[in-house]
Amino acid sequence: MKNYDVIILGAGPAGLSAAIYSSRAALKTLVIEKETIGGQIISTDGIENYPGISEGETGQSLVNKMKAQAEKFGVEFLSQEVIDFDFKEKIKVLKTKEDQYSAKGVIIAIGSKHRRLGVKGEDEFVGAGVSYCATCDAAFFKDVEVFVVGGGDTALQESLFLAKFASKVTIVHRREEFRATKILQEKVKQNKKIDFMMNSKIVEIKGDGIVGSVVIEDIKTGQQKEYLPNNELNTFGVFVFTGYIPNTKMFEDKFELDPKGYFVAGEDMKLKDGVYVAGDCRAKKFRQVVTAVSDGAIAALE
């Protein structure tokens, strides 16, 4: 078993912030991340609302700086998946398929994953027309019409990025108005390549190997219409940005979660003695990079 002072689960902005603060306090710190370091932020093409960043900063470039800063203070990173844990005693134990790790303190910063539409054809065409990351896949849809599902900041921000590549971007939103910030709403309305279908929802995605058509329902009338592509590739892109689901399943019987599955913790981030939570897996009103970083710092300081 390998021993540390602090173990942090998750290497998104919250986890990286916690790592920087704990390591600067001369605590031997390990960050365990089963996927890509950076979390959801690495799919963000441009960041404008984080203090002190330079023009042209991307999610990936910001994460690179955070990781380098953490490494400068001696933080260790481990690319493994935690499959079990024991938080009953003063010394907490985390188990992966390869080894076991112990620490006096654990910070859970496991973030969230994309919420899916749950419609027929969605799972079948993931990677073949259906995507959850415009930054990753926009270039594959050059001169192709795409549909974006969602009405929050992420949906509109990603629509602006997609408009640089796609022939047309149609935002499909189930409500009368967007939830996104006013500045983003103005930007998409001013973009001539972006159109809107309000009070609407995608009910089915069809195709043969790749997305071939999309069925959209008018929520007010209940009428459905099948949309066919008009391009040489004979396909559409469908980008889904309908929110996130917290990655808390393995903890659901051990800690208090709210009805949506988020950890319930106060402003001290404490779940129990020696165990803290930070970032987007915590129940709170706002989920931004800056609030995740704040959570991580508080958890480490506590």
Residue 133 annotated among the catalytic residues of the structure: yes
Cβ contact 9:82 at 8 Å = yes
Determine how β-strand 275-277 pairs with β-strand 270-272: antiparallel
Q: Does the active-site annotation cover 281?
A: no
Catalytic annotation present for 136? yes
Backbone angles phi, psi at 54, to 5 degrees: -90, 160
Q: How far is CA 266 from the centre of its chain?
A: 22
Sequence-separated (6 or more) residues with CB below 8 Å from residue 41: 12, 13, 47, 59, 62, 63, 289
Rounded to whole angstroms, how far apart are CA atoms 41 and 59? 5
**Are the beta carbons of 12 and 113 closer than 8 angstroms?**
no
Selected catalytic residue, list 45, 133, 195, 218: 133
**How far is residue 23's CA from residue 108's CA, in Å, rounded to a whole number?**
16
Collect all residues with Cβ–Cβ distance below 8 Å to 128 and sequence separation of at least 6: 207, 209, 210, 211
CB 15 within 8 A of CB 29: no
**Which is catalytic among the residues 137, 153, 280, 295?**
137
Q: For residue 197, give the amino acid letter.
A: M
Which residue in the list 84, 99, 123, 136 is annotated as catalytic?
136
Provide the annotated active-site residues: 133, 136-137
